[in-house]
Chain A
Amino acid sequence: MDFNDSPEEAAYRDKARAWLAENAAAHLAEHGEPKPTTPEHMAAGKAWQARKAAAGYACITWPAAIGGGGGTPIQSVIFGQEETKAGVGYGYFTIGLGMCVPTVMAFADDATKQRFVSPAVKGEEIWCQLFSEPAGGSDVAALRTRAVKDGEDWVINGQKVWTTGAHYCDYGIVLVRTDVDAPKHKGLTMFWIDMRDPAVEVRPIHQMTGGREFNEVYFTDLRVKDSQRLGGIGDGWKVALVTLMNERLAVGGSAGPDYRQVMELARGLSGANGPALKDTAFREKLADWYVNSQGLKFTRFRTMTALSRGQTPGPESSIGKIISANQLQDLANTAVEAQGEYGILTDPGLSPMEAAFQNSLMWAPGLRIAGGTDEILKNIIAERVLGLPGDVRVDKDVAFKDMPTGR
């Protein structure tokens, strides 16, 4: 039980810190801090990723031969902590490098891997994940997008939805139905596709945050080669599970303010009986948030310890998102309510902390849904950690085409 860095870890941290001090400054001098979602912001993100890759700080746990850092999971966590402290970081690569490219590495042929892995690590190409459809988000296996064999090629028709980053991505992995006579899990196949193909149409969706980070994606007679297939025909569900497993491992410190910022805010706010920070009910909430945040941080450390002892962490990492997404929502709401009537303002120039709490309040519902809803994550814990029976599955042995559907 040792909370401190081991000598090797401390040495790595020093090295990373020194590199970040120099390179973050150089990067910021060159690019400044452009507004998120602008082309300048994307360019800055790609430049930062390239800089990291050149120094072995991109995809730290991947072999150096494919462009990674050849390091350990703990080194990856250490670098992440220091990078956050250094105040640089871009979200464009998380889905691609965390989920899509690992799936390509696991299932593609050597030529495909050669072609795609290194450019993705360097930030030259960005990937998206095209799983969800109007007919299936939680129940991904209910998807309807069809791929039909035509000579040597496959022809894809259908629609995906809520695809993060589809509007700026170069490539994507897409799960489609290749057999409607089989039960739903048996008739799926995975492909990689070129998002710039004219047969792919991307339509941004307006989110409740006001932003447009995710999209509808339409396929009209999109032709793909059989060599773009990832895994066997009809094995798409197994391939998707690998992607989703990596999703849980892609350790993304949840963005947004934490208990420290709320404390800072409350220090300067007046409450009914003096400063808001002195309000008992408020203090109790603050304590709970702190305890949860620490709990999650140390749970990650426990996972790292297991990894460093050669064990594989299991689905128990699902607890992270349940807690952090719900907590962000609660914390943001409390902070907004503490501002009184003023809390409804979202003008970054007027609102405390540039309206960070108002922003989080509007993002939190999405965080509770994306990457598995609270309910699905609890099912995962119940079934795979605690070994409880699965839910009743009325569609398990039914051919997909005979499955009951609602809207």
Chain B
Amino acid sequence: MDFDYSDDQKFLKDEARKFLAARCPPSVVRGVLDDPAKSYDAGLWSAVAEQGWLGAAIPEDYDGLGLGRVELCAIAEELGRAVAPIPFASTVYILAEAVMAYGSEEQKAAILPRVAAGELIGCLATSEGPGVITPSALQARVEGGKLFGVKIPVTDGDAAAMALVLANEGGRPGLFLVDLKASGVKVETLESLDPTRGVARLTFDGAAADRLGEAGQGFELVQAILDRAAVLLAFEQLGGADRCLEMAREYALGRYAFGRVIAGYQAMKHKLADMYVKNEVARSNAYYGAWALNVDAPELPTAAAAARIAASDAFWFASKESIQVHGGMGFTWDVDCHLYYRRSRQLSLVAGAPKLWKERLVSELEKKNAA
């Protein structure tokens, strides 16, 4: 048993932290937040591509670095800390991971090198309205290789050149790769809780659709893809939650009330201790997820669910209570707390809300106990 990053991985993580401290200070995040025309920071995106991070887990045969998933987890943790305003998750955790796991040789050769080079941004398009998308409610359809329907909201849909779209084909759900720059696609940018990440409505009217994986397996495929993404997202959430605790701690140690620092008051101390406990529980579950993802263990569905549930809980708690610790300052636009509060909501919803993952976890446990 070895339940920590290795020295090499720690080195990579430290380097990533330094790099992001220099290239992604809060001013960069705010640059995207304050400019409705910007859905991500293009400068940071190409800098990250130059670091090789986009292809960290992509095999060398497809121009990636060929590292393991644990390395990608380490990078994810740092991106989360920095609330990086780039379509990294959609492109790397979702599009690239999906193509690596389920793509044909042709699809891999066409997509992976472009992802690694930073030339192709991806997105996942499943939702069609409020509530959860179910097989019976799915409206989007593919006929004769052409896609028709509306997907809303699609995270990073306004920046992406390629979408993974869930749609019926012959009455059964499938997953399709769609070139968003080709004809038959309309992209509208939408307002969202977290403007540091782009969100769009995608309208398809006869866009060319290329199936990924087996026909009729769309829902299973999306779930398997989200299992992988959930682990990586959990590390982003963990990084964000850790930063919230740090900010709250720093503020509490400098702010005086009633003649002493507020960090000395027990209500504040216990709040910060609660954050710490939740973050550590999330970290332990995330590490288990990283292991399961890295070796493609049969435990991945349960490990991913546990990682996601714990990380969503930790980030939500840390982001809301960090504002509380900051008092009135915390409620202002100028203090960074709200960047994390927004991102915590974005990350919790983007790959299925915690409620769904709890249900998934318990059904997995039921299966295990029945066997």
- Residue numbers in B under 8 Å from A5 (CB-CB): 1
Q: Does A305 contact B (CB under 8 A)?
A: yes
Binds A, one of B87-95, B129-137, B152-160, B263-271: B263-271
A263 and B365 contact, CB distance less than 8 A: yes
The answer to whether A304 and B273 touch (CB under 8 A), given A291-B285, A295-B284, A298-B284, is no
Render B116-155 as a binary contact track against A, CB cut-off 8 A, 1 for contact.
0000000000000000000000000000000000000000
Q: Does B5 contact A (CB under 8 A)?
A: yes
**Distance of A301 Cα from B2 Cα, bound (Å):** 8
Q: Does B109 contact A (CB under 8 A)?
A: no
Q: Does A143 contact B (CB under 8 A)?
A: no
Nearest B residue to A264, CB-CB:
B369
Nearest A residue to B269, CB-CB:
A382
Binds B, one of A359-367, A387-395, A399-407: A387-395
Distance to closest chain A CB from B125 (angstroms): 27
**Distance of A323 Cα from B366 Cα, bound (Å):** 24
Distance to closest chain A CB from B261 (angstroms): 6
Q: Does A6 contact B (CB under 8 A)?
A: yes
The answer to whether A290 and B361 touch (CB under 8 A), given A304-B3, A382-B272, is yes
Q: How large is the interface on B (under 10, 10 to 19, 20 to 34, 35 or more residues)?
A: 35 or more
Q: Does A226 contact B (CB under 8 A)?
A: no
Q: Does A296 contact B (CB under 8 A)?
A: yes
Nearest A residue to B361, CB-CB:
A287
Q: Does B324 contact A (CB under 8 A)?
A: no
A388 and B365 contact, CB distance less than 8 A: no
Q: Does A108 contact B (CB under 8 A)?
A: no
Q: Does B276 contact A (CB under 8 A)?
A: yes
**Distance of A364 Cα from B277 Cα, bound (Å):** 20
Nearest A residue to B369, CB-CB:
A263
Distance to closest chain A CB from B12 (angstroms): 13
**Distance of A306 Cα from B1 Cα, bound (Å):** 11
A1 and B358 contact, CB distance less than 8 A: no
Q: Does A288 contact B (CB under 8 A)?
A: yes
Q: Does B336 contact A (CB under 8 A)?
A: no
Q: Does A339 contact B (CB under 8 A)?
A: no
A388 and B253 contact, CB distance less than 8 A: yes
Binds B, one of A154-162, A177-185, A349-357, A373-381: A373-381
The answer to whether A305 and B269 touch (CB under 8 A), given A287-B309, A299-B280, is no
**Distance of A9 Cα from B272 Cα, bound (Å):** 37
- Residue numbers in B under 8 Å from A1 (CB-CB): 2-6, 9, 70, 287, 290-291, 294
B277 and A381 contact, CB distance less than 8 A: yes
Nearest B residue to A304, CB-CB:
B1
Q: Does A43 contact B (CB under 8 A)?
A: no
Contact with A2, one of B2, B269, B282, B361 (Cβ below 8 angstroms): B2
Distance to closest chain B CB from A132 (angstroms): 22
Distance to closest chain A CB from B72 (angstroms): 12
A301 and B369 contact, CB distance less than 8 A: no
Q: Does A16 contact B (CB under 8 A)?
A: no
**Distance of A82 Cα from B296 Cα, bound (Å):** 26
A388 and B252 contact, CB distance less than 8 A: yes
Distance to closest chain B CB from A251 (angstroms): 14
Nearest B residue to A5, CB-CB:
B1
Nearest B residue to A311, CB-CB:
B4
**Distance of A318 Cα from B209 Cα, bound (Å):** 54
Q: Does B306 contact A (CB under 8 A)?
A: yes
Instruction: Give residues of chain B (282-310) contacting chain A, Cβ–Cβ below 8 Å.
Output: 282-285, 287-288, 290-292, 294, 297, 305-306, 309-310
Contact with B309, one of A288, A297, A309, A392 (Cβ below 8 angstroms): A288
A389 and B263 contact, CB distance less than 8 A: yes
B285 and A294 contact, CB distance less than 8 A: yes
B273 and A287 contact, CB distance less than 8 A: no
A288 and B358 contact, CB distance less than 8 A: yes
**Distance of A297 Cα from B1 Cα, bound (Å):** 13
B273 and A295 contact, CB distance less than 8 A: no
**Distance of A119 Cα from B73 Cα, bound (Å):** 49
- Residue numbers in B under 8 Å from A298 (CB-CB): 3, 284-285, 287-288
**Distance of A13 Cα from B81 Cα, bound (Å):** 39
- Residue numbers in B under 8 Å from A296 (CB-CB): 281, 284
Distance to closest chain A CB from B248 (angstroms): 10
Nearest A residue to B261, CB-CB:
A389
Q: Does A396 contact B (CB under 8 A)?
A: no
A391 and B264 contact, CB distance less than 8 A: yes
**Distance of A323 Cα from B253 Cα, bound (Å):** 26
B249 and A388 contact, CB distance less than 8 A: yes
* Residue among B2, B6, B310 with the highest chain A CB neighbour number at 10 A: B2
Nearest A residue to B2, CB-CB:
A2
Contact with A306, one of B4, B253, B290 (Cβ below 8 angstroms): B4
Contact with B3, one of A259, A280, A301, A390 (Cβ below 8 angstroms): A301
- Residue numbers in B under 8 Å from A193 (CB-CB): none
**Distance of A336 Cα from B268 Cα, bound (Å):** 34
Distance to closest chain A CB from B47 (angstroms): 27
Distance to closest chain A CB from B131 (angstroms): 15
Distance to closest chain A CB from B273 (angstroms): 4
List 24 A-B residue pairs with CB atoms under 8 Å apart, sorted by A's residue number: A2-B3, A3-B1, A6-B2, A264-B369, A287-B305, A291-B313, A294-B285, A295-B281, A295-B284, A297-B284, A298-B288, A302-B3, A302-B284, A305-B1, A322-B277, A323-B281, A378-B270, A383-B269, A387-B249, A388-B249, A388-B272, A389-B261, A391-B264, A392-B264
Known: A296-B284, A391-B266. 13 other contacts (CB 8 A): A2-B3, A264-B369, A287-B362, A291-B306, A294-B285, A298-B287, A299-B280, A299-B281, A301-B284, A302-B283, A304-B1, A322-B277, A382-B270
- A interface with B by C-beta (< 8 Å): 1-6, 9, 74, 259-260, 263-264, 277, 280, 283-284, 286-288, 290-292, 294-299, 301-302, 304-306, 308-309, 316, 319, 322-323, 375, 378-379, 381-383, 385-392
Q: Which 4 pairs across A and B sit closest by C-beta, in order of nearness? A: A295-B281, A298-B284, A382-B269, A287-B358
